[in-house]
Amino acid sequence: MSRAWLFVPADRPERFDKALASGADRVIVDLEDAVAPAARPAARAALAAWLASTPARVALRLNAADTADFEADLPLLRHAAVHTVVLPKAEEVVVLARLHALRPDAALVPLVESAAGLAAARALAAMRGVERLAFGHIDFQVDLGLRGAHEDELLPWRCELVLASRLARIAAPLDGVTTDFDEPAVLQADVARALRLGFGGKLCIHPRQVAAVRAGFAPTAEQVAWAQRVLQAAAAAGGGAVALDGRMVDKPVVLRAEAILRDAG
């Protein structure tokens, strides 16, 4: 299960290998927000050289499809090292279809960052090649004109991404970044909220966040022990009703226990 996805700026090639060594489940080389427009041509050239020589498999965040930079980014997809393509400002299925045609073996991650993107979330999630959705909640707030919105006010839209993912039977979505990387308690609270809502991972902007995100989304030892006991009790009952710790063990409980053990690896 890929839980912690770490951004690294595409114009900082000296950080690529450090990002890969951070423990992140997937590294996203970012050609969009992290790179000034004037620096993107040089960043592409350096990135192309690195992609041609590295044995690593990375994700690549392109620029938005309605920009000239998007077309300039596409030749980078020919590199086998690009395992995943992250599409910012995702709103139209035709763009995903084009990316899939260019690299049918690469996973696609549409980044929902606008009202139009949220309205299309179910269609985006159902597209061939899409591995999971991701929530760009900061740009989303700007697009909707939410002024100083508290995180709780984004709950309906986060839930919609979880629902869209489930309906499409793809992996649970990735929650957006926590911009404050000097306050572990803030990150911990954000991870806990995302987990409660059904997200399966989180975008990270600093290597310091990776370990906490991985740990926060992983089942605890207590949860694993409980799940093992549930399955043992269910097996002993031979499919019949059984009680455990004063609670009835039925099919939903068994399915939850199985999910915990899958997530624990």
How would you write the chain as a 3-class SS string?
CCCEEEEEECCCHHHHHHHHCCCCCEEEEECCCCCCHHHHHHHHHHHHHHHHHCCCCEEEECCCCCCHHHHHHHHHHHCCCEEEEEECCCCCHHHHHHHHHHCCCCEEEEEECCHHHHHCHHHHHCCCCECCCEECHHHHHHHHCCCCCCHHHHHHHHHHHHHHHHHHCCCCCEECCCCCCCCHHHHHHHHHHHHHHCCCEEEECCHHHHHHHHHHHCCCHHHHHHHHHHHHHHHHCCCCCEEECCEEECHHHHHHHHHHHHHCC
- Name, in order, each residue with C-beta under 8 angstroms of 210's C-beta and a sequence gap of 6 or more: 4, 6, 22, 23, 24, 204
Average confidence (pLDDT) over 44-50: 96
Q: Using 50, 70 and 90 to split pLDDT, how confident is the model at 181?
A: confident
CB 249 within 8 A of CB 223: no
Q: Residue 148 above 80 pLDDT?
A: no
Indicate if the pLDDT at residue 191 is higher than 80. yes
pLDDT band at 161 (very low <50, low <70, confident <90, very high): very high
Please say if the pLDDT value at position 245 is more than 90: no
Report the chain's mean pLDDT, rounded to a whole number: 93
pLDDT bucket at 130, cuts 50 / 70 / 90: very high
Question: Residue 237: which pLDDT band, with cuts at 50, 70 and 90?
Answer: confident
The residue-averaged pLDDT of 53-60 equals 95
- CB within 8 Å of 119: residues ≥ 6 apart: none
pTM above 0.75, yes or no: yes
Burial class (CB in 10 A: 0-12, 13-18, 19+), 210: buried
CB 104 within 8 A of CB 132: no
Report pLDDT digits (tens) over 2-29.
899 999 999 999 999 999 999 999 999 9
Give the whole-angstrom CA distance, residue 243 versus residue 148.
Answer: 48
pLDDT for residue 149 is more than 70: no
